[in-house]
Amino acid sequence: MSDRTAARGVITRTRKPAGIPMPAAPVELAVERATRPSATPYADACAAPEKACIETWSAALNLRALLAEHGSNVWVVSEAQLLANLNSWTRIAGAPEHVLFPVKANPSPAVLELLAAAGASAECASPAEILLARLAGFPNARIAYNSPAADLSTAWKLLVAGGTVVADSCEFLAAIDEQATAAREAGDAPALGQLLVRVNPAIDIRYRKCEAWSELTSHAKKTGKFGIPAEEVVDAVASLRTLRVTGLHAHVGTQMDHVEPFVQLAAHLGEIADAIADRTGVLPTLLDLGGGLGIPFASTDEFPSIDALGHALASALDPRFTYLFEPGHALVGNAVALLGSVVSVKNVRGKRWTIADVGTDQLAKITLLSWHHPVLGPDGHTLATSGNDALGGPLCFSGDTLLPATDTSSLKVGDPMLVQHAGAYCASLASTFNGRRSGGTVVLRANGAIERTTPRASGLDEPLARGHAWSALAAMHETRMPLALDVIAPLSSKVLREDLCAERFAYIAATSEGTHAYEFEFAVSSPVGFVSMPLAIRLAGDAAIVSTLRMLGYATKAFPVWGTSLDLRMSKQIATNEPVRVRIELSHAAQREGPKSRRLAVRFTMRGDAVAGDAASGSFEIMFDEAGAGC
C-alpha cells in the first residue's frame, strides 16, 4: 500500500533521513473514504469522536459457522479494522512509515504482513523480532531496534543496513560510537541509518486514574529502567566521537488514559533537541513519542480516541521535526479477537461456572492484570459484567477467570464465544501450560472473505528433542555394546536403503498466485507406489527452490540453496499413479550475515486426486548465498 503525505504541512522536514523514509507524493490508503479529507483533518472537532469505543466488526461474524469451519482457540484478525487504525495514526504522523508497530505487541505474521504491505514500520526489541519483521516484508529502512538489553552486533548491522537504532543507555551509546570510530579509522565508514537516544523524561507523566496495575506499565517513571535521564542526554550526545544522534525517543507507558502526557512529551523532547543543537550545532530532527495510548475493555472505560490525540497534538507539533509513533494497543488491540467455545457448565454452591476452552494460556494479560475484555456470546451480544455467574478458562489455576461476575444462563456446551480487543499483548504472552496449543489464525479480509493464514498447532510443536530428557536416559545405560551386522540386516528397510534411489519426478504443470504462492503438478514414479517421506521432502524442496528463485527474479539456478528447520506431517498416503500437487507459500526474503545472504520461510501442502484434502503439509527455512556454482 502506498505512502501518504502529512495532512498537516508542519509535520514534515526538508532533509530526508536515511532510516525512516519520508512520504512520497500523496496517495490515499485503501481504507480511506472515497473523498479526500480536508487539509486539516482535525479542524472539525465534532466530526472526530473523542472517546475510543468497543469495536463493532466482530459482532457481524457468524460465530457458529466460524467455529464449525476453523475450530476453537483461533485468533481472528480484521484487515479492515487494522488498516483503519493505521490510517488514523497516519493522519497524525504524516506518513505510514512514521508509524512503528511494536512487534512485541503481536508478532503474528498475519498482522505483520498487513502492516508491512500498508507501508508502516516495525519496532523490534530482539534479533528474533527483526527477523520476523524482515520475513513479513519490512525493509531495513523501516525497522527500528530498541531494547534495554540491546545486542551491539545486531544494532551495528542494522544501522549499517540503513535501519534505526535507539540507544537506551549512555554505556550502549558509547559502545556503538566506539564501533563506528573503529570502522572509520579502518577506512570503512559506511552510510548509516538513524540513531536515536531514548530519554527518561524529567517531567511527571501520570495516569489520570491510578489502577492497581499502573506501576507495572509506567514506562516513563523517573527511577525506572528505561532510557537516559533527560539531564544527562546533552552530555552523552556531545561526547560522541563519530556518530551523530538524529533523534530522541521516549514512551509514556501502556494504556495511557489521557492525551496530555503526549503533548507534554512532544514539548519536552523538543527542548532537549534544542539543547543538543546549542551544544553541538546539530539539531536531532526525529522525535519518537512512543506508544501507550489506551483502548477500552468495557463500555464504561474512558480512553481518548486516536483522533482525539491527533486533535490535541495538532497545535503542539513543531514544523522543524518529524514525529514518530509506536502504537500497540491503539493500533492492533481492537483488530484481533479470540474465538473460543464452552466446554463445561457446573454449579458450585449456588454459583454457576461456565468453562471455556480459552483462558490464561492465551490471555494472561486479561486474567493476571484483571483487564477483563468484552466477550460475545454465540448470538453476537456482549456478556454482562455483573451477575452471580463466572466465565472461567480451562487451566488448573484458580485465577484463570475471564469474567468473574456475569450471566451465562444463555450459554451451553458447544456454544462459540469471542473475546474482543485481544490484539495486543495476548498472543505474544501465550504459553503452553497444561499442554494447551493455539488454534492458529484466520484473517477477515476487507472484502468479507475469511482466510486461514496459520495452521492449528499440535502437541509436537514442542518437539520431543527438546521436551525429552535424552541425556538422562542415555546415562542409565552407560555400557556400550557392539551390534552384529547380521542382526541389523533383517531389521533394515530395503525400500529406504535401495529402492528409493529409483524414485523420480517431473514437472507437468505450474501456476503462480502473485509472487509469494505457487502450485506445481508432478508426475511421480516410485517402486513403493506412494509418496514416501524422503520423496515428499524432495518434491517440496525442489518446488520451494523454483518458487524462491522465481520470486526473486532469477532465470537460472546459479548457486546452492539449502533447507533447515524442517517440519513435515504426512497424514495420508498419496499414490504415485496419479499427479501429485504441491502448493508452496513463501515469506519475504530476509538478509542473513552478508549483503547477498538470504533466508526465507516456506510453507507447503501436498495432495493427490484419490483422497480429499491435503495429505501432507509442513514448513522449513531456505537459505542461500547469491554466489558460487549451481547445484
> What are the structural domains, with CATH classification, of the chain?
139-326 (3.20.20.10), 335-459 (2.40.37.10), 503-625 (3.10.129.10)
Cβ atoms within 10 Å, residue 591: 18
Distance CA 421, CA 428 (A): 14
Residue 459, pLDDT > 90, answer no
Give me the phi and psi of 472, to 5 degrees please.
Answer: -65, -40
Nearest CA to 338 out of 82, 77, 52 is that of 77
**C-alpha 549 chain-centroid distance:** 26
Residue 28, pLDDT > 50, answer no
Whole-Å CA distances, 448 to 19, 61, 220, 322, 553: 36, 10, 41, 36, 33
Q: Which amino acid is at 465?
A: A
* Segment 466-495, tens digit of pLDDT: 454 545 555 555 677 787 888 888 888 787
Distance CA 427, CA 104 (A): 10
Mapping DSSP onto H, E and C, the string for 228-268 reads: EEHHHHHHHHHCCCCCCCCEEECCCCCCECCCHHHHHHHHH
Range name among 56-60, 82-86, 337-341, 454-458 with the lowest pLDDT average: 454-458
**How much is the mean pLDDT over the chain?**
85
Distance CA 401, CA 227 (A): 36
Residues 6+ apart with CB under 8 A from 560: 624, 625, 628, 629, 630, 631
What is the band of 221 on the pLDDT scale with cuts at 50, 70, 90?
Answer: low
What is the band of 500 on the pLDDT scale with cuts at 50, 70, 90?
Answer: confident
Sign of torsion, CA 505 506 508 514? positive
Cβ atoms within 10 Å, residue 169: 19
pLDDT for 282 equals 96
Under the phi-then-psi rule, with left for phi > 0, alpha for psi from -120 to 50, and beta for the rest, what region is 547?
alpha
Q: Are 424 and 105 in contact (CB under 8 A)?
A: yes
Range name among 67-81, 206-220, 557-571, 588-602 with the lowest pLDDT average: 206-220
Reduced to 3 states (helix: H, G, I; strand: E, B; else coil), residue 182 is helix
What is the band of 610 on the pLDDT scale with cuts at 50, 70, 90?
Answer: confident
Reduced to 3 states (helix: H, G, I; strand: E, B; else coil), residue 309 is helix
Max Cα separation, the chain?
A: 88
Q: Are 297 and 421 in contact (CB under 8 A)?
A: yes
Mapping DSSP onto H, E and C, the string for 410-439 reads: CCCCCCEEEECCCCCCCHHHCCCHHHCCCC
Distance CA 410, CA 416 (A): 12
Residue 601, pLDDT > 50, answer yes
pTM: 0.84
Reduced to 3 states (helix: H, G, I; strand: E, B; else coil), residue 598 is strand
Give me the phi and psi of 395, to 5 degrees please.
Answer: -85, 160
Q: Which amino acid is at 138?
A: F
* Segment 527-569, tens digit of pLDDT: 999 999 999 999 999 999 999 999 999 988 889 999 998 989 9
Distance CA 527, CA 530 (A): 8
Distance CA 75, CA 157 (A): 34
Cβ atoms within 10 Å, residue 182: 11
Q: Where are the alpha helices (DSSP H) in 252-313?
A: 260-280, 306-313
Length of the chain: 631
Residues 6+ apart with CB under 8 A from 564: 620, 621, 623
Residues 6+ apart with CB under 8 A from 499: 527, 528
Specify which residues 229 forms β-bridges with: 200
Distance CA 279, CA 276 (A): 5
What number is the average pLDDT over the span 250-261?
Answer: 86
Q: What percent of the chain has pLDDT over 70?
A: 85
Cβ atoms within 10 Å, residue 361: 24
Distance CA 25, CA 489 (A): 71
Max mean pLDDT among 166-170, 217-221, 252-256, 586-590 falls in 166-170
Residue 441, pLDDT > 80, answer yes
Strand ranges in 455-592 using DSSP code E only, listed in sequence order = 504-513, 517-525, 561-570, 580-586, 590-591
Range name among 15-29, 194-208, 241-255 with the lowest pLDDT average: 15-29
Sign of torsion, CA 269 270 275 277? positive
Reduced to 3 states (helix: H, G, I; strand: E, B; else coil), residue 84 is helix
What number is the average pLDDT over the span 596-601?
Answer: 90
Max mean pLDDT among 202-211, 337-346, 559-568 falls in 337-346
Distance CA 449, CA 69 (A): 13
Residue 117, pLDDT > 90, answer yes
